[in-house]
Amino acid sequence: MYKAKVYVTLKESVLDPQGQAVKESLHSLDYHKVADVRIGKYMELQLNAGSVNEAESVVEEMCQKLLANPVIEKFRYDIEEATA
Amino acid sequence: MYKAKVYVTLKESVLDPQGQAVKESLHSLDYHKVADVRIGKYMELQLNAGSVNEAESVVEEMCQKLLANPVIEKFRYDIEEATA
């Protein structure tokens, strides 16, 4: 059993209105030191894969096909062996 | 300038219908090795703080007040010095 931690973020060139809204909310709460906020997704997957390499290639494929939108988003992931 | 990476996830005991839906979508795409999916938020903040300690305490406060819902979510964060 492997655990994959997947981070999906908007590409630098893509506007992030959700992050902008959070930044403005933080400013209205008097956190004026916040210069920028970018919001992404974080996913944890449990995988019944035979090896780290197999888990990696499955996660890469799933990110390309479903978990991220490669047109506007980039992704990265870490795979670790899960004990339970 | 500091960069804070904030990870917000649902507590273990809280159901994750979004993760369940993603898991079922992955199964329908023939990724049957996926045993579980949990979905959270990932945020990157740029902070004009004077020190790592100051940045840490500000991020902790912002998480408690706005970025996470401590009733159903837990959060963790890493602070690093940003070069630009």
Question: For residue A84, is pLDDT > 70?
Answer: no
User: How far does the CA of residue B70 sit from the closest CA of chain A (Å)?
Assistant: 17
Q: How many residues does chain B have?
A: 84
Sheet holding A73-81, edge to edge: A73-81, A2-10, A34-47, B34-47, B2-10, B73-81
Question: For residue B12, is pLDDT > 70?
Answer: yes
- Partner-chain residue, chosen from B19, B33, B47, that has the shortest CB–CB distance to A35: B47
The answer to whether B43 contacts A37, with C-beta atoms less than 8 Å apart, is yes
Alpha-carbon span B39 to B21, nearest angstrom: 10
pLDDT one-digit tens code per residue, A16-64: 999 999 999 999 999 999 999 999 999 999 999 999 999 999 999 999 9
Question: For residue B49, is pLDDT > 70?
Answer: yes
Alpha-carbon span B6 to B8, nearest angstrom: 7
Model pLDDT, residue B27: 96
Model pLDDT, residue B82: 84
ipTM of the complex: 0.87
Model confidence at B29, in pLDDT bands (50, 70, 90)?
A: very high
Q: Mutating which of B7, B9, B41, B42 best tests the A interface, going by the most A Cβ atoms within 10 A?
A: B42
Q: Which domains does chain A have, with CATH numbers?
A: 2-81 (3.30.1280.10)
| Mean of all residue pLDDT scores within chain B | 94
User: How far does the CA of residue A13 sit from the closest CA of chain B (Å)?
Assistant: 15
Alpha carbon separation from A72 to A8, A21, B26, B50 (Å, rounded): 10, 19, 21, 34
The answer to whether B36 contacts A45, with C-beta atoms less than 8 Å apart, is yes
Mean pLDDT of B67-72: 95
Q: State the DSSP string of chain B.
A: -EEEEEEEEE-TTS--HHHHHHHHHHHHTT-TTEEEEEEEEEEEEEE--SSHHHHHHHHHHHIIIII--TTTEEEEEEEEE---
Q: Mutating which of B45, B47, B59, B76 best tests the A interface, going by the most A Cβ atoms within 10 A?
A: B45
